[in-house]
């Protein structure tokens, strides 16, 4: 069976918009991270030299998604870390909250990489989390 499409970049006047797909919510989150990275650099060309484990908490799945993707920008700004892949992503609930644990694998920005886009923030604008067989996440990021 052909591999399922990870994500699609959609038209948006000023910002970046995409839909990320997954058979599970976790897989869709991973693909949303790759889609976000793809607006700034070619994640497929980033070697997995470094690992950055982290955990985020949200009051609902939407906030969890905003905070999860925000981690990519935070690591770029503070450590010049480029995401290449996501490993061990687990989502669970704790009381009313949603928790996500994962590891980003990637490399430090160097002359080998071209950064062509600047994602400033992850927004709730037009955000959709749809479940129909699998999961589809629609996200708009501020660029």
Partner 1 sequence: MELRKIGDNVWEIPKQGEMRVPALIYASAKLLADIKHDMTLDQARNVACLPGIQRMSYVMPDAHQGYGFPIGGVAAFDLDEGVISPGGVGYDINCGVRLLRTDYTEKDVTARRKELLSEIFKEVPAGVGKGGVTKLSRNALKDILVKGAEWAVENGYGTKEDLERTEEYGRMREADGAAVSDRAMERGIPQLGTLGAGNHFLEIQKVREIFDKSAAAAFGIEAEGQILVMIHCGSRGLGHQVATDYIELMENKFGTKGLPDRELVNAPFRSELGRRYYRAMSAAVNFAFANRQMIAHWVRDVFAKVLGSSKGMRQVYDVCHNVAKVEKHVVGGELRDLCVHRKGATRSFGPGRPEIPEAYRSAGQPVIIPGSMGTASFLLVGTPEAEELSFGSTAHGAGRVMSRHEALRRFRGEQIRDDLARQGVELKSTSWKGVAEEASAAYKDVDEVVRVSQEVGIGRLVAKVVPVGVMKG
Name the site residues for partner 1 (rule: CB under 8 A). 9-17, 40, 59, 62-63, 66-67, 70, 73-74, 76-78, 80, 82, 109, 114-118, 120-125, 127, 140, 142-143
Which of 124, 117, 135 has its CA nearest to residue 30? Answer: 135
Which of 76, 64, 65, 88 has its CA nearest to residue 39? Answer: 76
Which CB sits closer to partner 1, 103 or 142? 142
Closest approach of Cβ 133 to partner 1, in Å?
26
Which CB sits closer to partner 1, 20 or 40? 40
Classify residue 6 as exposed, middle or buried by CB count within 10 Å of its CB (0-12, 13-18, 19+): middle
Largest CA distance in the chain: 45
Which CB sits closer to partner 1, 18 or 135? 18
Closest approach of Cβ 6 to partner 1, in Å?
16
Closest approach of Cβ 14 to partner 1, in Å?
4
Which CB sits closer to partner 1, 23 or 128? 128
Q: Please give the structure tokens belonging to residue 50.
A: 């470094």
Contact 50, 108 (CB under 8 A): yes
Contact 48, 107 (CB under 8 A): yes
HSE on the CB side for 38, CA within 13 Å?
17
Which CB sits closer to partner 1, 52 or 67? 67
């Amino acid at each position: 069976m052909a591999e399922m499409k990870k994500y699609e970049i959609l038209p948006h006047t000023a910002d970046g918009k995409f839909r990320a797909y997954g058979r599970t919510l976790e897989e869709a989150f991973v693909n949303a991270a790759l889609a976000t990275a793809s607006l700034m650099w070619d994640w497929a060309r980033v070697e997995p030299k470094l690992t950055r484990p982290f955990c985020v908490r949200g009051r609902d799945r939407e906030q969890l998604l905003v905070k999860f993707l925000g981690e990519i920008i935070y690591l770029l700004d503070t450590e010049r870390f480029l995401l290449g892949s996501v490993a061990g992503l687990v989502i669970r609930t704790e009381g009313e909250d949603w928790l996500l644990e994962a590891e980003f694998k990637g490399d430090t920005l160097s002359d080998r990489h071209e950064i062509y886009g600047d994602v400033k923030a992850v927004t709730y604008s037009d955000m959709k989390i749809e479940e129909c067989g699998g999961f589809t996440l629609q996200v708009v990021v501020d660029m």
